[in-house]
Chain A
Amino acid sequence: MNREILVCCDTGCLVNGAQAVLDELRHDAIGMDVSIKPYVKNVGCNGLCEKGPIVTILPDNITYYKVKPSDAADILESLGNKAVDRLLYKDKEGTPVLSRKDHPFYATQHKIALRNTGIIDPGSIEDFLSRGGYEGLKKALTMTQDQVIAEVEKSGLRGRGGGGFPTGKKWRSCQQVSSDQKYMLCNGDEGDPGAFMDRSLMEGDPHSVLEGLIIGAFAIGASKGILYIRDEYDLALRDVQKAIDEARKMGYLGENILNSGFNFDCEIVRGGGAFVCGESSALMSSIEGKVGEPRVKYIRSVEKGLFEKPTVLNNVETLANIPYILLHGGDEYAKLGTEGSKGTKVFSLVGKVERTGLVEVPMGVTLRELVFDIGGGIAGGGRFKAVQTGGPSGGCIPESLMDLKIDFDSLKESGSMMGSGGIIVMDEATCMVDLARYYVKFLSGESCGKCTPCREGLRCMLEILTRICEGKGTLRDLDLLEELAYTATQASLCELGKTAANPVLSTLKYFRDEYEEHINNKHCPAGACKELITFRILPEKCKGCGICAKACPAQCIDGVLKSPYEIRALDCIKCGTCKEKCPFDAIVTE
Chain B
Amino acid sequence: MMLLLHNIGMKEVVVLANENNVKHENTRDIKDILKNYSHEQRHSLAILQEVQKEYSYISPDHLQTISYYLRVPVAEIFSIATFYKALSLDKKGKIIIKVCDGTACHIRGSETVLNECKRALNIDVGETTPDGLFSLEVVNCVGSCAIAPVMVCDNEFHGKLQSGQVAPIITQAKEEAEVHE
Q: How far is the CA of A446 from the CA of B101 in the complex (A)?
A: 13
- Assess whether A192 is interfacial by the CB under 8 Å rule: yes
Q: Which residues of A contact B42 (CB under 8 A)?
A: 287-289
Contacts of B140 in A (CB 8 A): 191, 193, 275, 442, 446
Contact B141 A289 (CB under 8 A): no
Q: Does B122 touch A at the CB level, under 8 Å? A: no
Contacts A273-B84, A275-B140 given; indicate if A193 touches B102 (C-beta within 8 A).
yes
Known: A274-B85, A442-B140. A15 touches B115 (CB 8 A): no
Q: Is B135 an interface residue (CB 8 A)?
A: no
- Cβ contacts under 8 Å, A348 to chain B: 145-146
Residues on B with C-beta less than 8 A from A271 are 86
**Interface residues as binary, B75-114 with A (CB distance below 8 Å gives 1, 0 otherwise):** 0100110011111000000000000011111111000100
Q: Which residues of A contact B160 (CB under 8 A)?
A: 50
- Given the known interface contacts A193-B102, A196-B143, the answer about A11 and B157 at a Cβ–Cβ threshold of 8 Å is yes
In the complex, are the beta carbons of B145 and A291 less than 8 A apart? no
A15, A288, A350: the one within 8 Å of B157 (CB):
A15
In the complex, B3 has a CB within 8 A of chain A = no
A-B contacts counted at CB < 8 A amount to 149
A270 to B147, CA, bound (A): 25
Cβ contact of B83, chosen from A195, A272, A358, A430, cutoff 8 A: A272
Given contacts A193-B102, A270-B45, A291-B80, contact A351 B143 (CB under 8 A): no
Nearest-CB distance from A411 to chain B (Å)?
Answer: 17
Q: Which of B21-53 contact A (CB under 8 A)?
A: 40-46, 48-49
Contact with A along B117-138 (1 / 0, CB 8 A): 0010000000000000000000
Query: Do residues A272 and B158 form an inter-chain contact, with CB atoms below 8 A?
Result: no
The residues of A that contact B163 with a CB separation of less than 8 Å are: 575-577, 580
Q: How many residues of B contact A (CB 8 A)?
A: 48
With CB as the reference atom, state the residue of chain A lying closest to B115. Answer: A575
Interface residue A496 (Cβ < 8 Å from any Cβ of B): no
B83 and A194 contact, CB distance less than 8 A: no
Q: Judging by beta carbons under 8 Å apart, are A15 and B147 in contact?
A: yes
Interface residue? B142 (CB, 8 A):
yes
Contact indicator A191/B157 (Cβ below 8 Å): no
The answer to whether B45 and A286 touch across the interface, beta carbons within 8 angstroms, is yes
B143 pairs with A357, CB closer than 8 A? no
Interface segment out of the listed A78-86, A179-187, A209-217, A226-234: A226-234
Closest to B52 in A: A272
CB <8 Å contact, B157 and A273: no
CA distance A190 to B83 in the complex (A): 18
Chain A residues, CB < 8 A from B83:
272, 274, 291-292
Chain A residues near B45 (CB-CB < 8 A): 269-270, 272, 286, 289
Since A16-B159, A195-B143 are in contact, a sample of 5 more A-B pairs with Cβ atoms closer than 8 Å, ordered by chain A residue number, is: A193-B105, A196-B143, A232-B142, A272-B48, A576-B112
Residues of A within 8 A of B (CB): 11-12, 14-16, 49-50, 190-196, 199, 231-234, 269-275, 286-292, 348, 350-352, 356-358, 388, 391, 422, 424, 426, 430, 435, 438-439, 442, 446, 553, 575-577, 580-581
Name 25 A/B residue pairs within 8 A (Cβ), A-sorted: A11-B143, A16-B159, A49-B147, A50-B146, A195-B141, A231-B49, A272-B84, A274-B85, A287-B42, A289-B40, A289-B70, A290-B76, A290-B80, A292-B84, A348-B146, A350-B104, A350-B146, A350-B148, A388-B103, A435-B107, A553-B119, A575-B112, A575-B115, A577-B112, A577-B163
Show the binding face of B for A, using Cβ within 8 Å: 40-46, 48-49, 70, 72, 76, 79-80, 83-87, 101-108, 112, 115, 119, 139-148, 155, 157-160, 162-164
